[in-house]
Amino acid sequence: MLTGVLVAVDSAAFQFDKLYSYNVPEQFTDTVKEGSRVLVPFGNSKRMGIVLGSCEPDDSYKSLIDVERGEPVINSEMIDLIKYLKETTFCTYYDAVRAVLPKNIRLVPDGGFEKIVQESEAHLETVFETVDGFDEAALTKRQREVYEALIAPMTYSELNSITSVSRQTLSKMEESGAVRRSVRLKVSDAGYEPTVKEEALVLTDAQQEAYIKIKELTFSDSTPNTTLFYGVTSSGKTAVYFKLIEDMVETSRGVIMLVPEIALATQMIGRLKNRFGSRVGIIHSALSDTERTIQWKRISEGEYDVVIGTRSAVFAPLPDIGLIIIDEEQEETYNSDQAPRFRAVSVAMKRAYTHSAGLVLGSATPSVESYYKAVEGAYNLVRLEERFNDMPLPEVTVSDMREELIEGNTACIGKELYEKIEERLRSGRQCILLMNRRGYRTVSICRQCGKVIMCDSCSMPMVWHKDDGTHRCHYCSRVIKEVTKCPDCGGELRHTGIGTQRVEEELQLLFPEARILRIDVDSMSRKGSLQKALKDFEDGKYDIMIGTQMIAKGLDFPNVTLAGVLSVDSMLLMPSYRAYEKTFDMLTQVVGRSGRGSSAGEAVIQTIDPQNSIIKLAAGQDYKSFYDSEIILRKAHLYPPFCSVCSVVFVSQKENEARSSAHRFEHKLAEVFARNPKVPVRIMNPAPLRVVLVKGSFRWRIMIKSRGDRAFRDCLSACLTEYKQENPSDRTRIYVDINNESDI
């Protein structure tokens, strides 16, 4: 019984985000628990809060207004995760609450701010059922027909479709006690149904060896519980994952499997559903709020014990986790870019430790940090270096596009790639082509004055989309229709650059008989469209797939024997210490989409720098040599894994305010770390982000290299709190991003 509680309050600014003490009125002492959501007075307002601890009551404390009914949905592990996210990502408590709970589960004050109500009940439905022991003789003939049809709980629409019953008739049956209504969770499979029952798993000798090693190392008391599973593309890592999942299912322990992209989730979900049927739950951003809530509830109630999804699935409320698998663990999509800015791998480690579970990180191109930890013994390392059924790696051609330009070929498709596509079309094989830019042309420039059509809200050119004649900003989604002349001088516009729409059009001209599928955010915006498109391609309804990075990784199509990368050079020039790693990763993965069936594969990489060492290493799928060269550079320049990098970002609608705040905060950093000389840091000078203006706000940042430990976090937290207290009139929004490394 709690008489005093510590409450985290919603909508508190970071510097005021702490646990506040409240008394518990007598009517709530038996119902309030840690994890209970409560309505509290806060200043001159009333706000939602969550109980995260207890305290002794005191006459100076205010009292709770209302407490949620029933058992709290936020259990002790979720409370632990909320506190962990608060400490490690510099978010508020309620930012963390929003990460672990789906929207429809959240509670809000009623209109009068006197009691708590559910934010949405869209995931619930009203059903009717017969009352046992009711005397049917009291019913009319029509009512008896309805009563006899109600053999199981049904919604009104379900019952009406069978009996054409009116609501008035049903209400009278309710009044007489013949039927009663109740509320239940809606039925939803999130759009995925098993198609065929997969045969029993039979592993190759190499897969079996890897499977045994992972089990022995990951679940041993004498070795780390985290294993890096390095396997070349098409080595059959998925079969090993499924074997590990089978083991967990047999021992009645839960499994979470994360994949980086919804495209990959779509194919993997189908395979998991085929193998494990109705015990598979799904969590990813393409689900509606209602679908996510239904999945979350069924997982928490134990109906699903195998969960697959993208980043947010790491918070799946499984009561007993035995194994967490993160496929393509190196992917940036596992890092959240909104508060709380967490790393899914870090959260998975936290949950694995809590549940005494195993954690398997899988990849053909592990992050440099993960491979370093495996080499140093912090992780176990298991290798699978043979392709499934001894299939050879694809034969890779690095095509020199400078020669094409000299010969006058300015097309997207070079001569070598054209010939190989033509050969596949003749033989009935399929091709996958990567162009990592959406739209038709990426820049529109005036031929007379040279003005570029820019987004008014972002410091980026607008991309021309030929299919609907619009210019679109790919940062804020702003759309301008029918811009055909320069807005400044009226001059003619020239469109330059290449996007997926332009490539699709060129392919249609070059190969008029080919069936071409384009996959990008624009073409796959409708719900279920991506799932259908991938299934159609797998079924052979298309010959060529052209797409952005959505198609670069993890997809498995046995009939694909040619992969093409149309442009790679811009990736190598990214202002990031990860530029080489990202380029190697993408090239290796795209090449690995080819030759995954019974026929050998080929790949073509088009570039104006064919002698580049990263391209050569990726063409040879030589991860070890890439790692050996990259780790030397990282150590020489002090980048991860030899330090931790984070950014303090300053956002304002006025650039001078963002700049001024950054410089003032730099002085506060120097002051606080001078008081803590045992906490080593390197503080970079304030600078604008590469894309300084986004959605009407200017962004500056300070980059900090550190050990990333608790002592550093305590100092940085003190900086944030002291700065806000000393500069109460500063309107600049400040946040810490532990993942913001792409713009370095």
Tens of pLDDT, residues 354-394:
999 999 999 999 999 999 999 999 999 999 998 887 888 89
Condensed to tens digits (0 to 9), the pLDDT of residues 325-360 reads 999 999 999 999 999 999 999 999 999 999 999 999
User: Is there a single domain that holds both residue 158 and residue 106?
Assistant: no
Give tens-digit pLDDT for 566-578. Answer: 988 888 888 889 9
Residues 27, 84, single domain; the answer is yes
Whether residue 554 is predicted with pLDDT greater than 90 in this model: the reply is: no
pLDDT at 740 over 70: no
Q: Is the pLDDT of residue 193 over 70?
A: no
* The two three-digit tokens of residue 561, written as one number: 């024997």
474, part of any domain: no
What is the arithmetic mean of pLDDT over 411-420? 94
For residue 489, being part of any structural domain is answered with no
Query: Is 234 in a helix, a strand, or coil?
Result: coil
What does DSSP say about strands 644-652 and 733-737: parallel, antiparallel, or unpaired? antiparallel
Q: Whole-number mean pLDDT of the chain?
A: 91
d(CA 617, CA 582): 13
Q: Is the pLDDT of residue 694 over 90?
A: yes
User: What is the predicted pLDDT for the residue at 525?
Assistant: 78
Is residue 477 in a domain?
A: no
Q: How far is CA 414 from CA 399, 518, 611, in A?
A: 8, 19, 18
Nearest partner of 210 among 382, 408, 352, 378, judged by Cα: 382
Give the pLDDT mean for 538-554. Answer: 90
Output the pLDDT for position 196.
61
Q: Is 549 strand, coil or helix?
A: helix
Of the candidates 118, 148, 174, which is a domain's last residue? 118
Residue 672 DSSP class: H
Q: What is the pLDDT of residue 76?
A: 94
Asked if residue 360 lies in contact with residue 239, where contact means CB atoms within 8 angstroms, the answer is no
Residues pairing with 637 in the sheet? none
Buried b (16+ CB within 10 A) or exposed e, 109-122: beeebeebeeebeb
**Number of domains the chain is built from:** 5
Contact 430, 424 (CB under 8 A): yes
Q: What is the pLDDT of residue 341?
A: 95
Q: What is the CATH number of the domain that holds 732?
A: 3.30.70.600
- Residue range of the domain that includes 730: 644-737
In a domain, 449, yes or no: no
For 152-205, strand residue ranges (E) read 179-185
The reported pLDDT for the residue numbered 234 is 87
Packed helices 167-176 and 156-163: angle between N→C axes, nearest 10 degrees: 110
Task: Give yes or no for residue 7 having a pLDDT over 90.
Answer: yes
For the residues 11-18, what does the mean pLDDT come to? 91
Q: What is the pLDDT of residues 79-130, one digit of tens each?
A: 999 999 999 999 999 999 999 998 888 888 887 778 887 766 676 788 899 9
Q: How many CB atoms lie within 10 A of CB 48?
A: 25
Q: β-strands 470-472, 479-481: how paired?
A: antiparallel
Question: Beta 62-63 vs 19-23: how paired, if at all?
Answer: parallel
pLDDT grade for 29, boundaries at 50, 70 and 90: very high
pLDDT surpasses 50 at 744: no
Together in a domain, 211 and 315 = yes
Percent of the chain with pLDDT over 70: 97
Average pLDDT over every residue of 152-175 = 91
61 lies in the same domain as 100? yes
Q: Is the residue at 571 inside a domain? A: yes
The predicted-structure confidence for 446-489, as pLDDT tens digits, reads as follows 998 988 999 999 999 999 888 888 999 988 999 998 788 888 88
Query: Tell me: the pLDDT tens digits for 56-86?
Result: 999 999 999 999 988 898 999 999 999 999 9
| CATH code of the domain containing 352 | 3.40.50.300
Start-to-end Cα distance in the chain: 52
Q: Per the structure block, which two tokens stand in for 656?
A: 């001078």
**C-alpha radius of gyration, the chain, whole number:** 29
Handedness of CA 497, 544, 239, 204 (dihedral sign): negative
579 shares a domain with 513: yes
Question: Does residue 326 share a domain with residue 252?
Answer: yes
Instruction: Supply the CATH number for residue 32's domain.
Output: 3.40.1440.60
Residue 614 and residue 666 share a domain: no
Same domain, 224 and 108: no
Which of 90, 118, 146 delimits the end of a domain?
118
Token readout for 40 is 């509290």
Q: Looking at 541-646, list the stretches that DSSP marks H as alpha helix, in order from N- to C-terminal side.
A: 569-572, 579-591, 613-619, 623-636
Residue 191 resides in a domain:
no
Task: Looking at the structure, tell me whether residues 536 and 425 fall in a common domain.
Answer: yes
pLDDT for residue 133 is more than 80: yes
Q: Please give the backbone phi and psi of residue 70, each rounded to the nearest 5 degrees, phi first.
A: 75, -170
Based on the fold, state whether residues 96 and 32 are members of the same structural domain: yes
In a domain, 657, yes or no: yes
**Which residue did the predictor score with more confidence, 271 or 434?**
434
pLDDT of residue 120: 65
Q: What is the DSSP string of 470-489?
A: EEE-TTT--EEE---B-TTT
Q: 407 Cβ partners below 8 Å, 6+ apart?
A: none
Say yes or no: 594 and 505 in one domain: yes
Given this model, what pLDDT does residue 742 score? 42
pLDDT of residue 226: 96
Mark which of 584, 609, 634 sits at the end of a domain: 634
Same domain? 611 vs 680:
no
Residue 452 lies in a domain: no
- Measured N-to-C along each axis, helices 368-376 and 623-636 cross at an angle, to the nearest 10 degrees, of 90
CA distance 453 to 468: 17
